[in-house]
Structure 1
Amino acid sequence: MIAFLRKNAGIRLAIPLLFSWFSANAQDAAKFPLIPYPTKLIPGKGLFAITPRTTVSGEAFKSEAKELAALLAKGLGQKLTPAKSQSAAAISIIKSADITASESYRLTIKPNHVEILANSGAGVFHAIETIRQLLPASIEKGIASKKLVLPVLTIEDEPAYEWRGMHLDVSRHFFSISYLKKFIDRMALYKMNKLHLHLTDDQGWRIEIKKYPKLTEEGAWRTFNNQDSMCMKRSKDNPDFVIDKEHIIQRDGKTLYGGFYTQQEMKGIVAYAAARHIDIIPEIDMPGHMMAAINSYPFLTCNGENKWGALFTKPICPCNETTFEFAQNVFTEIMDIFPSKYIHIGGDEVDRTDWGKSDACKALMEKEGIKDLAALQSYFINRMEKFFNSKGRKLIGWDEIIEGGISPTAIVMYWRGWVPKAPVEAVKNGNTVIMTPGEPLYFDNQPDQYAVDRVYHFNPIPKVLNAQEAKSIIGAQANIWTEQIPSERRADYMAMPRMTALAEMLWTNQPDKYQSYLQRLVRQYSRMDAMGINYRLPDLPGLLNEYVFTDEGKLSIASPLSTLTIRYTTDGSLPGVGSAVLPTPLVIKKSQLIRVAAFTPNGTRGDVYNLNYTQQQMLGPVKIAPPKPGLACTYYKAYFKATTFMKDAKVDSTFTTDKIEVPATVKAPSFGITYKGYIDVPADGIYSFYLTCDDGGVLKIGPNMVVNNDGNHSAQERSGQVALKMGAHPFQLDFIEGGGGFKLGLKYSVNGSVPQDVPAGWFKN
């Protein structure tokens, strides 16, 4: 029997004699640039040559054998010789009862024979994708070679987690059938197995429902909204924000945006994904996020109104039988399209206000003994789950569904990172949980230099769960919400290469392989180029947002890839392929804006970096009375859109701290904190500060704003510099949390040193 490593919800066996191969060195990783890296890889000596005379045989897995033969034929430019028998085949695919895990496989490559052992088509397909990555990237373009070669090796492989997912929101912005196929192909390459399609929301209904034709006749189209206009504004500097024109039509003198999938089209996509062993999970979001449906069918609400409340749109009414008739009719057609055993009902961000005013809801709550509006939502979810179960399906909902009580058979998808107890409570209730927290798995959040690292090192298992409870966490997925993703190019940019980090975390689950992964990722870029993926180029290292200098500044940037050219402008214009190449170094003698960007050989531009240089005299220290340690802090228990609004807010409490962090005692969903006092630096120098906030923060030292990271946004780092003489300087940090990540951190460096936490002893008040 094949001795696979068993990974049970992140808990590992430690038997050195069996698992010493975990310490595969970087040399092997460079030679075998596989993502995700196999559970076990033993390199050999020699090569297996693939020619048109190579045969492929696999009687138990005919469709997968055909897939492999087509892949090799694409690389050779001609079809392979048909195998006359299993024993005569150069490449044999064999069903093996010794391999019990459904997605496991064993791949053995010898100089004269290749063998794939598996117990399922999924296992075979994963082996084929491994072979695909061992072949040259040119195979993706169909560039023919007279001979292909595979390295001699043995791979024993299986995933750490059952659920390895990606989510795509096609409601806010719509994506074509051809792009869905491309997206599925990329998932398959990296051994992802669940595609969660968010098919409906307030902004558009994207799937044909024959019983309710107006859902797509009307609900699939809209005039441009605020999300579209935001993208149009950003497209002036970045063409990736140009809305895909194929989804814009003219109707009755109006310009409309949208589109939908017919049931037949979607069945084709489901079949396409199934051939690649990817399960498509449909989401019809209810009872909230239903404005697109209510516009056409107002009977779905409690009072006929359809508008935005304080935060969210009005939901459908769980107290009328017509609502359940509608929902069951819709999901019956959905189940006919999607054979997946999982159906996602949403259940998030529900404004329940109108339910409390409804006579029908008051009567239902009294009749059923429903204690509050959260429990009324659970009544709706639980009733729909019984309907799903009657059809042989399992219900998935966002983690809000646990608030009013749910059955232990529902599956909970955890996204609210600011409610860490939610997945724990779900597990304690007996529910299966899929982890999708906004930080770091909302891929619509703007990536930065730490994005890939955060995804790779994400641990799906909450620390408070024991080994047995951890088994209820079946995996994770990344979510791509498309309010600000209007094009296929932008979707590519946001997903890649973060998807590769998630794929390896969920399959290999060995955080110590991170440096090896980074080396292999560099090798993957050529394959992404061949596949036409508009991936995000590697970050230009070590750059700040704001620079200061006293006499002159110098800018030098080491290219993260040898193939990239770094170009710059000083007149405020965007760098282009015709802009000057950045010298080493660029000497700056006056205050100015330097804009830099990396370019690929084909002219693709990476992120544009705006580097503000300010000439500044060193700030002298101030004299202070005998200081006390730490900073004086003012806490405001309120919601703020920006830090400036705190100045007129009511103070809730005060405290002193010597750490820049969110205090563990803070439980309010939204708040603000001002950290005020002095920073006592030990030497003259140019000090760099790195402020990470979720949501916003502003750092001032002396009279200068050093870092501006203001506003409501996901965790991001902004940086700046200030020239300080030794001694104490006025220090103020304003921080706001809008309800989300509770992330705050401050690091410093001096004269280019490695960033580190600001010493507690530097803070005085």
Structure 2
Amino acid sequence: MKNPLVISLLSLALLSACNTETDTTSSQPAINMAVIDQGALDTFANSLQVEFELVTNVADGQCDKAKHDGLCYQGRLNFTAQEDFYYKDWAIYFSLINPVQTFAAGEFTIAHVNGDLHKISLSKSFSGFRKGETKSLDFRADFWSLAETDLIPNYILAVDETSPVANQGEWQARVIASTRTQVDPETGIEISPFVKEYTEVREQFKRTDTDQTQWATAEVLFARNSAMPASNHQLQTAVIPTPTSVEVIDTEPVVDLSDGIDLKFNQVNKASVAAALQRLDSLGVKLSASGIPVMLQLNEHAGSVEGAYQLDIIDRKITITAANEAGIFYGLQTLAGLIRVTDLTLPAVQIQDQPYYDFRGMFVDVSRNFHSQQFLYDLIDQMAAYKLNKLHLHLADDEGWRLEIPGLEELTEIGSKRCFDLREQTCLLPQLGAGVDPTSPVNGYFTVEQYKQILKYAGERHIQVIPSLDMPGHSRAAIVSMKRRFDKYMGAGDTEKAQQYLLHDPKDTTVYSSVQYYNDNTINACMDSSYAFIAKVMDEVKAMHAEAGYPLTRYHIGADETAGAWVDSPKCQAFIAGNDKLEKAEDLVGYFIERVAQILAERDIEVAGWSDGISHTNPDNMPDVVQANAWGVLSWQGHKSAHQLVNRGWEVVVSSPDVMYFDFPYEADPKEHGYYWASRHTNSEKIFSFMPDNLPAHAEYWLDREDNPYQADDTVQKDEQGNIIHQPMLKGKRFIGIQGQLWSENTRSDDLSEYKIFPRLLALAERAWHSPEWALPYDHNGQIYDRDSHKISQQQHQQRRQQWSNFAATLANKEFAKLELADIHYRIPTAGGKIENGRLQINSAFPGLPLQYRTAESDWLDYTAPVEVTDAEIWVRAKAMTSERAGRALKVK
């Protein structure tokens, strides 16, 4: 450690005399610059004020016309010093989701390091900071910035590794304090105070001049909420997800569960329903010999669909009948769904129910930013409560490897951590604003024992865990880890062991950039050591599943986004030359996936992958069972790849980003968290309104990412040679299910993860379990859909709106209180509000939530009816049902 120096003004002057750079460009007098020391670096990191300012999203002549059709935005970083600071040989490292194209000449320069990591260096004209002085750095970066959460926190101040002083002792990099995130005390959600607020002007809010997106202001939300019909269903019989049929028996008395339930298990294994009973207990329904009799019955004739059940509440007793224990479990969850936490009475009903889709999934990325075991437990509990049955667990990507693999310790010793180590000897680069602390919550991994615990926890709740360790792209964490393994064994003189699991060709000079701007994140497809690594990992993961009692039967290899790799790899050039089935490097993607699928098949594991990568394979070389996650954007004709894969006979899980990506914003507002490359607003109503069986038909009532109408063509299409390049789904083909996705690039906490998942997960469960009558059946003859095709009737549109209104009322008046009891940090919606004739009106997308308002001078006041207001500044918000947490406040204009 380099000791901090306390330098007096005299000694500073003497030191500066020996280490000076003359400022030849500044209008200020030349100032002698001192070499940075640890003490000065620490002080500056704690005091420097950093501000990001979005200048404009309008592309101009200074954008790089060779990239992205010349699209770029202009940003400005403002640096304000609190004290005089005349030091050189330092740099700032920061993450930016889109790389910088150009920057304005001046006292700083910017260089792209790798991925999202950038470096700000001092130019020769840098003249130091006077107290209170602000210096600015203008730059242009790819595409747009439409959300304040684009700006990634935790800028790092460090000694410039290119300076002579870098090798003089050990330096400690520091996070610049002003760039740390904070937690909003009302919403409990992360905010970034260093980002200057975006405004509603076109230059900051919209992509293009044709962008029709509306800012989700209080007034816009009020109008949208007001257009919804009032709920017209009986809350007492409402259940999420909606059962297949519910018959209310008005002649029978209600059943009161206040004294508990007297459960008769009969042949049912108690362990198979224990989790459902725990949930009932948490809602106030206890097991008691004096309680209402509840009979569990297994009957092989009760239904052929896994999870089907019948629930009868008749004559002051309850009977649940199913062909399997999953059905019994879901019947108990429906019992929990019928009750309210403030009212444990149940109506007399007969419910016949079964799931619409076999695959009802939720994907969670714990790789980009790690999330805790308790978070997964809480998520699994809620998945089970709402009858989801597949947890797609994303355990490795470029930014982190999150699963202990015995025998490959480097994967977690190196690959599970991000910190400031530019040579990556102890950790990965600090991508995604990870900061300098390798023990921070964004870092971490699951041990073998913890992973087995997660498998058991999920399995006991009838949820299958489908692990994913992305490859061959998105594999930088593994590649860097195996480089360090190579170095270790080469240093020990063991060449064979060093090369055993090597994932890159050291002589590969290919220049490429992945979707996330990495130049070194793709496993080499031409090396046997790559496949030895995969086989080793698969054997270890399979063993964990076996030991947990839940065998590994399906594994998701990722297989997406391999951008131009291997072209100049000598090993691949030789491999292609010796293989008559391969002509060019691009053919290696299909080869890799086919070979990995074979490795899995040899271990009795089914293969799954994302649609873009797995579509490159030859179906004849793939196993009989293949799962493909279709993630084409619907407004970009995403239905085509989904239909193509279904027609191959593969099991297709609909994962459309414009509706199924929960890392996207709920509403079009720059303060909403999330990426937005496919949609600016993905709220619960949109998910509820999804028709997964008929993807192209959404063009009739949805818009593209700029809120413009689009057309979806699902007819037979041919190229100039007469070859069919698209055709509708063949008769008899259908999707096996749907899956919600939470990618976590900018989701740095468990609370924020829950905020993004809930309440959207309940709408996902509704669409996965129940097919509504308003959904337009798929037309296997093919159709063209747009705003004028009118295949969906006005009656169906009205049914959809009415059922959403009923669903929203159930969420607000039944389910939110249950989420709060489970300590789920769900999103409380932004409220709608308007002032008309001096009277304030407030509403919510979820009728029944408490509403409040305040003026510039008042505390928050409860709202129950329109109120006279005279203050020019009025704010509105919604509250949680049973806690003090609130939704984000909006100003009524």
Partner of 2:309: 105
Partner of 2:543: 336
Distance 1:72 1:293 in 2: 43
Change (3 A) 1:370 1:579: same
TM-fit CA distance, 1:492:
1.2
What secondary structure does 1:296 align onto? helix
Residue 817 (structure 2) pairs with residue 526 (structure 1):
yes
Q: Structure 1, residues 256-275: CA drift from partner, whole Å, max 9, x if none?
A: 84010011111111111111
Change (3 A) 1:227 1:363: closer
Distance 1:377 1:211 in 2: 28
Q: Which runs of 5+ in 2 are unaligned?
A: 1-229, 421-428, 484-501, 546-550, 668-680, 697-713, 715-726, 775-798
Change (3 A) 1:66 1:301: closer
Change (3 A) 1:183 1:430: same
Residue 387 (structure 2) pairs with residue 191 (structure 1):
yes
Residue in structure 2 matching 1:59, options 241, 262, 267? 267
Q: Structure 1, residues 239-264: CA drift from partner, whole Å, max 9, x if none?
A: xxxxxxxxx9667xxx7840100111
Partner of 1:697: none
TM-fit CA distance, 1:594:
5.8
Please report the TM-score for the alignment, with normalisation by the length of structure 2.
0.56
Residue 209 (structure 2) pairs with residue 209 (structure 1):
no
Contact 2:567 2:585 in 1 (8 A): yes
Partner of 1:375: 587
Paired amino acid for 2:817: S
Please report the TM-score for the alignment, with normalisation by the length of structure 1.
0.65
Residue in structure 2 matching 1:358, options 569, 583, 604? 569
* 1:442-481 alignment, distance < 5 Å: 442-448=661-667, 451-461=683-693, 462-463=695-696, 464=714, 468-469=730-731, 471-481=733-743
Distance 1:396 1:384 in 2: 11
Q: Structure 1, residues 385-408: CA drift from partner, whole Å, max 9, x if none?
A: 011111111111111224433426
Change (3 A) 1:319 1:405: same
Distance 2:282 2:416 in 1: 38
Paired amino acid for 1:484: N
Paired amino acid for 2:742: I
Distance 1:77 1:564 in 2: 26
Partner of 1:499: 761
What secondary structure does 2:404 align onto? coil
Distance 1:536 1:66 in 2: 29
Residue in structure 1 matching 2:334, options 116, 127, 130? 130
TM-fit CA distance, 1:495:
0.8
Partner of 2:879: 599
Paired amino acid for 1:296: S
Identity level (%): 27
What secondary structure does 2:867 align onto? coil
What secondary structure does 1:137 align onto? coil
TM-fit CA distance, 1:569:
5.7
Partner of 1:236: none
Distance 1:106 1:260 in 2: 41
Contact 1:228 1:486 in 2 (8 A): no
Change (3 A) 1:68 1:415: closer
Residue 496 (structure 2) pairs with residue 300 (structure 1):
no
Q: Structure 1, residues 201-259: CA drift from partner, whole Å, max 9, x if none?
A: 111110001121010011111127776549x9xxxxxxxxxxxxxxx9667xxx78401
Residue 237 (structure 2) pairs with residue 32 (structure 1):
yes
Q: Which runs of 5+ in 1 are unaligned?
A: 1-24, 140-147, 233-247, 572-576, 614-765
Q: Structure 1, residues 64-101: CA drift from partner, whole Å, max 9, x if none?
A: 45555555556668643399xxxx96423333324111
Change (3 A) 1:586 1:53: closer
Residue in structure 1 matching 2:771, options 486, 509, 514? 509
Partner of 1:411: 627
Distance 1:401 1:89 in 2: 53
Distance 2:739 2:524 in 1: 30
Change (3 A) 1:292 1:227: closer
Distance 2:631 2:650 in 1: 15
Distance 2:386 2:682 in 1: 21
* 1:235-254 alignment, distance < 5 Å: none
What secondary structure does 1:516 align onto? helix
Q: Structure 1, residues 374-432: CA drift from partner, whole Å, max 9, x if none?
A: 32111000011011111111111111224433426422111131352211221232222
Contact 1:33 1:521 in 2 (8 A): no
Paired amino acid for 1:492: E
Residue 354 (structure 2) pairs with residue 158 (structure 1):
yes
Contact 1:47 1:150 in 2 (8 A): yes
The higher relative CO (CA closer than 8 Å, separation ≥ 6) is in 2
Change (3 A) 1:178 1:82: farther
Change (3 A) 1:473 1:134: same
Partner of 1:430: 649
Partner of 1:92: 296
Distance 2:818 2:539 in 1: 41
Contact 2:263 2:287 in 1 (8 A): no
Paired amino acid for 1:81: A
Contact 1:496 1:535 in 2 (8 A): yes
> Greater strand share, 1 or 2?
1
What is the RMSD computed on CA atoms of the aligned residues? 3.3
* 1:299-698 alignment, distance < 5 Å: 299-303=502-506, 309=513, 311=515, 312-313=517-518, 314=520, 315-338=522-545, 339-353=551-565, 355-368=566-579, 369-407=581-619, 409=624, 410-417=626-633, 418=636, 420=638, 421-448=640-667, 451-461=683-693, 462-463=695-696, 464=714, 468-469=730-731, 471-510=733-772, 511=774, 512=799, 513-523=803-813, 524-541=815-832, 556-558=841-843, 561-568=847-854, 570=856, 578-579=859-860, 584-587=867-870, 596-600=876-880, 602-610=883-891, 613=893
Contact 1:396 1:412 in 2 (8 A): yes
Change (3 A) 1:152 1:556: closer
Distance 1:432 1:94 in 2: 30
Distance 1:343 1:69 in 2: 31
Change (3 A) 1:221 1:308: farther
